[in-house]
Amino acid sequence: MNILAKDLKNINFARFKAWSRRAFRTKNLSIIFAVASILSVMATYFAISNNENPLVPDSKDVLVWIVVDIVFLLSLTAVVARRIVRLVVERRKGSVGSMLQARMVLMFSMVAIVPSIVMAVFSLIFFNYGIQAWFDKKVSTAIDGSVEIARLYLEEHKKIIAADILGVARDLNRDAYNMRRDPGSFSQKLAILAGVRKLPEAIVFQKNEGRSVLLARTKLSFSLEMILEDMPIDTFNQARDGELVILTNERDDRVMALVRLENYFDSYLLVGRFVDTQIMNHIEITEGAANEYKKLESGVSNMQIKFFVIFLIVALLLLLAVVWFGFIFALALVNPVRGLIAATKRVSEGDLSARVSEGRDNDEVATLGRSFNKMAEQLERQRTELISAQRRSAWSDVARRIAHEIKNPLTPIQLATDRLKKKYASQLDNPEEFTKYVNTISRNVSSIGNMVEEFSSFARIPAPIFSHNDICSLISDVVFSRNETNSNISIDYDMPEEPVILNCDSNQMVRVMTNLIKNAEESILERMEKDKVLRHGQINVIVYVKENKCVINIVDNGKGFDRSVIDRITEPYVTTKSKGTGLGLAIVKKIIEDHSGELIFSNVEKGACVCIVFPIER
């Protein structure tokens, strides 16, 4: 298990290494940088937008994204600079397509840069106008006025409570005699006076040896009693000196007043009133906004510089990303054209095997590439056909001359041999040996005659006379006739039940099938001579129709084709047989080509296969 886990780990690491090598190629890495740069710009925008104060881009998230933008900016600068240097070098060397690529890159860059610069200038102008509008004198006056109104509101509450406490103190001082006679009614009298002036909290206390002794109170004065315990001694001293002391709490939502009662011994009146909570909240918000506004107003220049730097970084990053995408698009357009130029140059130099990559797109460039490849294939095929026709014409002329030169003396030799045999055989002491020699001469003359006939046939293959014929019927007749020639070889066929009609020359088709089956028989016999284990030969003729084409396969269990000559086995005089002329398959190929067919040779596991493909007219 440990070994298996280790092997799996090594396999996974190898796969990851291969993936990383593919992913981090220069082109892929540059595309990743460009896309990441755009995403980084978007992230910077969202970070500034989601900042607590968008006008103060000093938060940690914003600074982090700015650093990331700078890293991408430097990386893209290096990538673009490297590509520009490479383009300049290629242009100086006169590389194919370098000038077109430079023009395309310049065009894409200008299309991207000019609008970007215009937008950048207008954005900066509008930003400055916006900042000036934000911190305009009218806005500052309005904000200061809002703060002043809030302050005056509190001051008005202080004046009102000052007037109220002085009224209550005056009434209490007037009734001091009665209050001393009836202390129990002191609180009731205080409640009436406080209620008239809408003072929810009011207490009267006396300072006795530093302690506060409560003399009277209203029902809702508990909080005043708690405040009384923590009241600074300076406040009492001010009141003892006859001053009216106005107090507020930490939130400024409560106004209190303290005054000394003149007709009571060291006694004081403390009242309180709450300010409207909603109004106080609005006042607090107004003051906070005003303070923030003053803070921003004091740092307008610094803020403009920061935003200018951020905008410059983002703009340059976007520009470089767009320029790099311009390089990519230019390469996408120029590379096929560059390949087409190089392939055209090769074709002009005679290399008709030149091809261009067609790609997976279906645009005009891909269509142009496919058209070029089709043209090159047609030229290559036509040149091959021309060379083949020229070679065949030359071999035909040679064969015709050879046949003419050899055929003339063959007849006198054959006649002389017959006369020698007839005239002198009975006069010799050893007629059997004489007859044997004469027969040998006669047999070889016949062989030469057969060879001459093959030369003549190859030299004057007639043009096919086309008619509609059932190829299955023709093949079955040939198979029947060949089955009678050799009992050690079986010939079977597998054909459709329905007729397969071809527009062909029936005599030439019979000649093709006879020649190919005869070659298969000879191959099997040669193998039987070498391989004594093989005692029976088998030839299978298979016919089927596929995609408007008739396919004929002739498969045998013979010795197969020699791999060294299989690619040129149909050339005249190319043969591996000891007695062959090398013209049989050349004749077969010529007939099949005249019928717009295709001839394919291959070796199978035990033997060989000849495949013929004919088009079917519909």
> How does pLDDT run across 447-478, given as a tens digit for each residue?
677 666 666 665 566 778 899 999 999 999 99
pLDDT for the residue 578: 61
User: Is pLDDT of 100 > 90?
Assistant: no
Element (H, E) at 477: helix 471-483
pLDDT for the residue 234: 81
Which residues are CB-neighbours of 105 under 8 A, at least 6 positions away? 87, 323, 326, 327, 330
Distance CA 54, CA 346 (A): 62
Q: Which amino acid is at 5?
A: A
pLDDT for the residue 59: 61
User: Is pLDDT of 608 > 90?
Assistant: yes
User: Is pLDDT of 614 > 70?
Assistant: yes
Q: How many CA atoms lie within 13 A of 476 on its CB side?
A: 11
Q: In the predicted model, what is the mean pLDDT of residues 71-89?
A: 77
pLDDT for the residue 143: 66
- φ, ψ at 544 (rounded to 5°): -155, 165
pLDDT for the residue 24: 43
User: Is pLDDT of 590 > 80?
Assistant: yes
For 398-402, 499-503, 589-593, which range has the lowest pLDDT when averaged over its residues? 398-402
pLDDT, averaged across the chain:
76
Instruction: Reduce the DSSP state of residue 446 to 3 states and report it.
Output: helix
pLDDT for the residue 58: 54
pLDDT: which is higher, 31 or 18: 31
pLDDT for the residue 534: 82
Distance CA 278, CA 283 (A): 9
pLDDT band at 19 (very low <50, low <70, confident <90, very high): very low
DSSP conformational letter for 252? S
Q: Which stretch, 46-60, 426-440, 538-552, 565-579, has highest mean pLDDT?
A: 538-552
Instruction: Identify the residue whose tokens are 């410059």.
Output: 312
User: Is pLDDT of 3 > 50?
Assistant: no
Q: In the predicted model, what is the mean pLDDT of residues 552-566?
A: 89
pLDDT tens track for 122-173:
776 766 666 666 666 666 666 666 667 766 777 777 788 888 888 888 888 8
Q: In the predicted model, what is the mean pLDDT of residues 93-120?
A: 73
pLDDT for the residue 53: 53
pLDDT: which is higher, 273 or 314: 273
pLDDT for the residue 352: 77
For 20-34, 166-180, 316-330, 516-530, which range has the lowest pLDDT when averaged over its residues? 20-34
pLDDT tens track for 66-76:
777 777 777 77
Q: In the predicted model, what is the mean pLDDT of residues 308-314?
A: 70
| pLDDT above 70: percentage of residues in the chain | 70
**Sign of the CA dihedral 186, 190, 193, 195?**
negative
Give start and end residues of each alpha helix (H) in 197-299: 222-229, 233-240, 277-298
Instruction: Reduce the DSSP state of residue 213 to 3 states and report it.
Output: strand
Instruction: Reduce the DSSP state of residue 198 to 3 states and report it.
Output: coil
Instruction: Reduce the DSSP state of residue 266 to 3 states and report it.
Output: coil
**Sign of the CA dihedral 484, 490, 496, 500?**
negative
Which residues are CB-neighbours of 113 under 8 A, at least 6 positions away? 319, 322, 323
Q: In the predicted model, what is the mean pLDDT of residues 293-297?
A: 64
| pLDDT above 90: percentage of residues in the chain | 11
Distance CA 209, CA 552 (A): 133
CB 154 within 8 A of CB 255: yes
pLDDT band at 6 (very low <50, low <70, confident <90, very high): very low
Whether the full predicted model's pTM is greater than 0.85, yes or no, is no
> CB count, 10 Å around CB of 527?
19
300-348 and 60-93 are packed helices; what angle lies between their axes, rounded to 10 degrees?
A: 30
pLDDT band at 422 (very low <50, low <70, confident <90, very high): confident
> CB count, 10 Å around CB of 169?
23
pLDDT for the residue 366: 74
Q: Which stretch, 255-259, 428-432, 544-548, has highest mean pLDDT?
A: 544-548
**Sign of the CA dihedral 263, 233, 245, 226?**
negative
